[in-house]
A and B are shown apart, each in its own frame.
Chain A
Amino acid sequence: MRPHLAVAAAAGLAQTVTVVVQAVLLATVIERCLRGRTTTSDVTPQLVGLGAAIAARGMLGWVGDWVGQRTSASVAGALRRRLLSRVLDLGPSWLAGERAGELALTATSGVDAVGVYFGRYLPQLILAALAPIAVLAWVAYTDWVSLLVLVGLVALVPPAIIFFGRRATEAATRQWRGLSSLSAHLLELVQGLPTLRAFGRVDYGRREVAEAAEGLRRSTLRTLRVAFLSSLALELLAGLGTGIVAMVLGLRLLGGHTSLYVALAVLLVSPEVFLPLRRASAEFHTSAEGKTAGERIAAVLETAPPRAVTVQGAPAPDAGQTIRFDRVTVELSGRGPALDNLSFRVDPGRRVAIVGPSGSGKSTALHAVLGLVAVSSGTILAGSVDLSSADWDAWRRQVSWVPQRPHLFAGSVADNVRLANPEAHDEAVAEAVRTAGLDAAADRLAHGLETPVGEGGALLSAGERQRVAIARAVLHGGRIVLLDEIGSHLDEAALDRLRESVEPWLRDRTVIVAAHHPDVISGLDDVVKLGSPVSAASTSGPEL
């Protein structure tokens, strides 16, 4: 990334050099033509050089853009993968404390903003520091009086940016509340159209829309009036730079204290002192966005993942053995114990229910079996293998899990069923769909199993989403089945139908079900009761 930055800054600096060359050549040609009877052929080299200098400036701009884009893309790509890998390492227990929408926005447009910060803003910032110095150095060499004028004006740039920048931030903060509430009002009026129609108040709604739009215009303009001040100040200083330099040069020419060549060349170069500063200031907004996102991303990357859950070369536990919870406690960072000292055992082919009120740790116990949360103390054993030092990938291949609130991924119903086994045959998918009782829902959908599920499964009902999760678990084919609150979205009759269709699949498998009531599945061998509140609960289970 650093060489990219150097190339981009060098290209910018070279552009500045072409401007100086261009000014020198133009001044030379004009001076020679005005001084004597010069023909075009006398100044051909200068004319060609002039055209070439202008064109070269364009080419260098191209190089700068290209390198900047490359930098942005490579920074963003690498950062996104690192960020998301870390998110997965941190796992569900960390994610539970985060807002998914905000995190996703950080991983998409936030990461892009960081890329733009490195690709575009940083080179521009370097150039804003170097280019004026380079131009001023040339002016000092050519005409020190003009140097004094320009230095005097450039010195005013930073205080102007700081002063007006602060005012602009204050104005934006002042207006923000009003702006966002007007935007929200516009949205509620459009979303509330059914209510407006039902009560015959459409005209009121239209009036309010017009008024909110007018209010938005007025308060936005109030903000802009201040926000545009810093570019007004910069442009004013740049204009004055040319104007005052022209005046001083003109007066000195009258007295014969300088030459036409010097006057023209300095005049043409003077705007270039301010241009990089104006560009960097115009990019200030993008830079602020990139900086904010960068801080957020750094905070995530600096969060240490919970105790490692996957160990290389670890023994593969066998799901055909007894599963034993021995005084298992799970502490979630900053939120106290989610599961406290739980002990129980499930023999192969048996069914155990973990019951208790909401928040008593039922789901956490299932998550611990899957290694989705790290066990703080105690052990979970599969046969004689301690899961905390086992090959989790091999273990998870033997465990079928139906989460309480299953997530559906972008794609069709069938894609979602295939999550664990994308190469599964159509017949296997159809069988899993039948087992989960999803076939009736598929008939209702426009394109059956090929119907897209919508964002987060929005096009399916809660009950249908859960049936997709069951079909997914069936297709996964684990010998251990973890069911988390499967009845909560279904009415009594639907639950009966589900029990009936799932029963043959559950037969001969080891089943752990988390539920409010133990009657959620039949044929239970044991019931583990969890108390409430969580941290105070002394959980007891059947004898080990």
Chain B
Amino acid sequence: MKTLIFRTIAPTLTAIMVVFSIFVLLRGHNEPGGGFIGGLIAASAIAIYGIAVGVREVRKALVVDPISLAGFGVFIAGFSGLLSLGQSVPYLTGLWGYISIGATKITISTPMIFDIGVYFAVVGTISAVALALEEGDVDK
């Protein structure tokens, strides 16, 4: 798109949206948010960037193919369930670990890893669709 204002603002907007999507992803365990909605926000960031600078630039900036991102997401979501294999509990049982840094206690858990997988799966799938639509010609 040739609008000067849009092209100037789009990279900043994209960066803010991606950071916000990660924030939404991480707060999702106990509050509104999570991997799915975070992934949608990140995918719309990618779509906006694509409208502003063209699909070719976006593909260069993403480095990997969006479908590969989606595959990676499904893989680590599946993997998060396998972590309970050695614990005599069923597949996908939530396991929790705590790390204390000073006064702050950070929680690491398998549901979080699962959610990150969902995030990547959604980002990959939706941006693959969005980029293909913006390209117009699917099969070059």
**Co-complex (A, B):** no
B→A interface (CB under 8 Å):
none
